[in-house]
Amino acid sequence: MGAPLTASFVGLLLLGRAEVAGGGTEAGAHPGLPGGDAAGGALLGALEERLAVCGDTSDMGGPIRILSVAFLDAAGGPLERALSGQPLVIEIRYAAFAPIDDPMIGIGIHEPGGLMLAAPNTSASGVALGRVEGAGSVKLAIDVLPLTPGVYPVSVSAMDRSGGTLYDYHDRRHLLRVEDPHGAEVLGRIRLAARWEVGD
């Protein structure tokens, strides 16, 4: 398996802005395609299979270690619960124990039953971290969180840019709690940006 995750949703594309600290560049979201193209879907399936075999490898002692994952509001404050339809920032802090050229950081958001809803990563978004060594961080800024109320396991991975070498992996270790801003009960997992129109 030699290709990265694609930034795909089940029925909806999650668009985020990746921001890099401690070296690298900032870039806009990769436009992508809803559900990913055929090749992207095959690559995503292959990576999911690879990670399923590897399991949670956060203790593998690779050259990059994921140190922390935080859910933040638009102002950078910590969130115990994210609000559906509101901004969300996911911050990943890492440490590189040796110089690594342009690694890839990825996030997987799962529904409670385990289905992966979204898998954005820096490489697919056109973000190059450059050569990293020591402490650094990346942020994924989601302008409008489309998830409905619930608890969503989040995975985080650090790999080489091709996706062929896994450095560190947190398998659904982080829980994203989402609430409705008005306390309403909402059916389904995705809040569509849609409107009803009544005809004659």
For 176, the token pair is 């994203």
Q: Radius of gyration over alpha carbons of the chain, in Å?
A: 17
For 170, the token pair is 């947190």
Residue 6: pLDDT above 70?
no
Residue 27: pLDDT above 80?
no
For residue 26, the one-letter residue type is E
Cα-based distances in Å from 160 to 32, 136, 186, 187: 21, 16, 39, 38
With tokens 């958001």, the residue in question is 109
pLDDT at 184: 83
pLDDT at 199: 92
Predicted structure pTM score = 0.72
Domain ranges of the chain: 16-179
Architecture of the domain spanning 16-179: Distorted Sandwich (2.70)
Return mean pLDDT, the chain. 78
Cα of 19 vs its chain's centroid, Å: 12
pLDDT at 62: 83
For 46-119, where are the E strands, in sequence order? 64-72, 82-83, 88-101, 104-110, 116-118
Would you give the DSSP letter of residue 47? Answer: H
- Summarised one tens digit per residue, pLDDT across range 53-102 is 445 555 566 899 999 999 999 999 999 999 999 999 999 999 999 999 99
Cα-based distances in Å from 117 to 113, 164, 167, 172: 11, 22, 23, 12
